[in-house]
């Protein structure tokens, strides 16, 4: 059970219960190009209520309104104040799912139980995240790694934390489900949260791509539906890459900030050299790494989903626009570094280079290679293309 300090207060619940809930259009949550930073902490709670109400799940599953208010407030309270994997991220992931279900009309093919499980899964998928990834748990032999093992460590913790909240007095939004419905709901919820582990995503996406591109995907096959639900969860978890450029760039910087903090700990506590994306000494490589991230993980997923549902076009357009911006930054950095190296080579006083300078001088080459990813040999999978050298790079990013 949750401690007193991990649950919301009666005053908070009463205030929310009496609050007027704005319409989706007033909140802006019915748009693909939602601004992830447009709502404050309280507005994100009322917007969450609006999403549940508009999806019809409150009425369908006879969810007590006060219980729903209490559950939402306590879920928010159980996110830590880390740079990225916090309550705002959880809300933005759920908004992305909401717009895919409504505006993109996945509600026409998903069951009410699937919709509720996906929405709850989005809000709970990073509960109690500590700002470090699964690989870090394994490297440090953390309490979570000892408790859950090294496979989807954090995702198992997020799910168990979600269950703990549901089992706390006055928090069970599934209380009016039958025994069979409850068992099915918890299974759907567990699948949803565990599917946000990118390692598991890589294990499943190849089969999903094959089904979609061959035209063999069937809504009547439960195995196909389960994989699709997991793809939707990942698409929403990574949804910031489809947002307007200024929003997407700000999110990338928040992710990087959290990664750098982990990298600092790896260097100081474990005496390890962090991978590039966790190493603040290599922060100038962010545009190049973002290009790899988009080309290797994000774009193939959204392209596959687009083939199933053409109403997802705004997401693919968003990612294409952001990719161009990252490529511009990558090429700009490349030109700046070339100018810097050229200036140093023409300076007679620069006869020697430190090891740091030597390492830095290699960065333009790395940036140029990434900026030209589209020209690399690729695995052709119908309309999807995945860079060959990216298949094993999932370990670089760990979990999301």
Say whether pLDDT at 79 is over 80. yes
Q: Determine the average pLDDT of the residues in 256-262.
A: 98
Does the active-site annotation cover 85?
Answer: yes
Q: Determine the average pLDDT of the residues in 178-184.
A: 98
Residue 4: band (very low, low, confident or very high) from pLDDT cuts 50, 70, 90? low
| pLDDT tens digits along 134-154 | 999 999 999 999 999 999 999
Which pLDDT value is given to residue 358?
Answer: 42
Q: Which two tokens stand for residue 255?
A: 């992710």
Which pLDDT value is given to residue 1?
Answer: 54
Q: Which two tokens stand for residue 249?
A: 């760039």
Which pLDDT value is given to residue 49?
Answer: 98
Angle at 50 between CA 47 and CA 52, to 5 degrees: 115
Say whether pLDDT at 393 is over 60. no
Which pLDDT value is given to residue 134?
Answer: 97
Q: How many CB atoms lie within 10 A of CB 350?
A: 11
- Work out whether strand 384-387 and strand 378-381 pair parallel, antiparallel, or are unpaired: antiparallel
| pLDDT tens digits along 28-58 | 999 999 999 999 999 999 999 999 999 999 9
| Chain centroid to CA 190 | 17
- Give the residue carrying structure tokens 């990073």: 126
| pLDDT tens digits along 268-311 | 999 999 999 999 999 999 999 999 999 999 999 999 999 999 99
Selecting among 5, 85, 129, 211, the annotated active-site residue is 85
Residue 83: band (very low, low, confident or very high) from pLDDT cuts 50, 70, 90? very high
Which pLDDT value is given to residue 359?
Answer: 42
The answer to whether residues 175 and 64 touch, using CB atoms and an 8 Å cutoff, is yes
Average pLDDT, the chain: 88
The answer to whether residues 112 and 183 touch, using CB atoms and an 8 Å cutoff, is no
Which pLDDT value is given to residue 354?
Answer: 43
Q: Is 110 left (phi over 0), alpha (psi -120 to 50) or beta?
A: beta
The pTM of this model reads 0.86
């Amino acid at each position: 059970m949750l401690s007193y300090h991990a649950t919301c207060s009666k005053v908070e619940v009463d205030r929310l219960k009496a609050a007027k809930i704005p319409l989706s259009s007033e909140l802006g949550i019915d748009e693909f190009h939602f601004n992830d930073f447009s709502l404050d902490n309280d507005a994100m709670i009322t917007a969450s209520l609006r999403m549940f109400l508009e999806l019809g799940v409150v009425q369908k599953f006879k969810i007590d309104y006060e219980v729903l208010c209490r559950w939402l407030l306590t879920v928010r309270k159980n996110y830590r104040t880390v740079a990225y994997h916090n309550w705002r991220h959880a809300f933005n992931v759920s908004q992305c799912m909401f717009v895919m279900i409504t505006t993109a009309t996945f509600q026409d093919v998903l069951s009410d139980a699937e919709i509720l499980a996906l929405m709850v899964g989005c809000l709970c998928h990073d509960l109690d995240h500590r700002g470090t990834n699964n690989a870090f748990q394994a490297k440090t032999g953390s309490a979570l790694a000892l408790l859950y093992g090294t496979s989807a460590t954090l995702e198992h913790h997020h799910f168990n934390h979600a269950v703990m909240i549901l089992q706390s007095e006055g928090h069970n939004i599934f209380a009016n489900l039958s025994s069979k419905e409850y068992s099915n709901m918890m299974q759907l919820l567990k699948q949803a949260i565990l599917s946000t582990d990118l390692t598991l995503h890589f294990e499943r996406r190849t089969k999903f791509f094959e089904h979609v591109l061959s035209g063999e995907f069937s809504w009547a096959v439960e195995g196909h539906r389960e994989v699709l639900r997991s793809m939707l969860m990942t698409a929403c978890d990574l949804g910031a890459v489809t947002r307007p450029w200024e929003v997407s760039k700000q999110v990338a910087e928040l992710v990087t900030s959290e990664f750098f903090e982990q990298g600092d700990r790896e260097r100081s506590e474990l005496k390890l050299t962090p991978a590039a994306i966790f190493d603040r000494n290599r922060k100038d490589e962010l545009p190049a790494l973002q290009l790899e991230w988009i080309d290797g993980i994000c774009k193939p997923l959204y392209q596959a989903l687009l083939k199933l549902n053409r109403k997802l076009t705004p997401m693919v357009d968003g990612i294409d626009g952001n990719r161009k911006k990252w490529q511009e930054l990558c090429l700009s950095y490349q030109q700046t570094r070339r100018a810097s190296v050229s200036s140093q080579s023409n300076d007679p006083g620069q006869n020697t280079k430190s090891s740091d300078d030597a390492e830095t001088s290699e960065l333009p080459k790395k940036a140029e290679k990434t900026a030209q990813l589209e020209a690399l040999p690729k695995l052709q999978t119908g309309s999807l293309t995945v860079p060959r050298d990216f298949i094993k790079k999932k370990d670089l990013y760990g979990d999301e």
